Each structure stands twice: as C-alpha cells, then as structure tokens.
Amino acid sequence: LSHHDELAKPYPGVVDVVRTLHARGAKLALVTSKLSRGAERGLHLLGLEEELSVRVCADDVDHGKPHPAPVLMALDALDASPDDALFIGDSHHDIEAGRRAGVTTVAVTWGPLPRERLASAKPDHWLEEPRQLFEL
C-alpha cells in the first residue's frame, strides 16, 4: 500500500454519480478484485464509505470474478434481485461475472481497456462517461 494513496484517483465524474445515485436511494455496492484493506483505503480517500457501504472484496469470497459469487454476495447483502440490478465494470472478468450472476452488464470505456478490447465481452450496455448511467 506504499503508493496506494497517490494512485487512488477517481475517474472524472464517477464520485459525483455515485453520490447522486446514493442520494436518490439507489442500492450500491462495490465488487472488487482488490483485497479489503486496499479497497477500504481507496473508499476512505474518495469519501465514499457511506455510499458504498456494501463491499465484496477478493478476500471475502472463495471464488473471485469471473465467478458469479462476488456479484451474488453483493446482491444478497443489498437484498436485491439480479433482474433489478446493473453490474458495471471495466474488464472481461467483470462483464462475465455479472452475466453469470444473471445481472444486466454495463461496460465503461474510461477504464484500463479501450472499447475495442472490451467489445468481445459483449456487455448489455456501454458507458462513455459516468453521467450516461442516468439514461439506463
């Protein structure tokens, strides 16, 4: 974690969208391949502990993404149905985990993979910028 704080920079618009969704009463969770310690630290730095109170990290599950277990664990903690949920991700493993959990999948283009590299994952929806989430 020695360089974590300087690397934990949010993508433009993401924090505002998360806060707006939370204020509107949306049920939100973080499902990450990071270990709990790093995820908690990142949420603290971004000030999103309250908005993302449900967290499923790599050390919380026996099988990480692309297995559906982390997504299903988050849905259970939120008391949410796969039919009423979106799973947003920036990797093939994210999209596959969401699909295998029966959730509508959304790929973002501002992550580490450009759209053309993520296209083979065949997400249900694409977001070019965070605010487009309000249109889904």
Of 33, 27, 6, 7, give the one whose Cα is nearest residue 89: 33
Confidence of residue 11 (pLDDT cuts 50, 70, 90): confident
Q: Is the pLDDT of residue 111 over 60?
A: yes
Give residue 3's pLDDT: 53
Query: Rounded mean pLDDT of the chain?
Result: 93
- Both tokens of 23, joined, read 């204020």
Domain spans, the chain: 4-131
Query: Between 3.40.50.360, 3.40.50.720, 3.40.50.1000, 3.40.50.11540, what CATH number should domain 4-131 receive?
Result: 3.40.50.1000
CA angle, 81 then 120 then 64, to 5°? 50
ω into 112 cis (within 30 of 0)? no
Measured between alpha carbons, how far is 55 from 77 in angstroms, rounded to an integer? 9
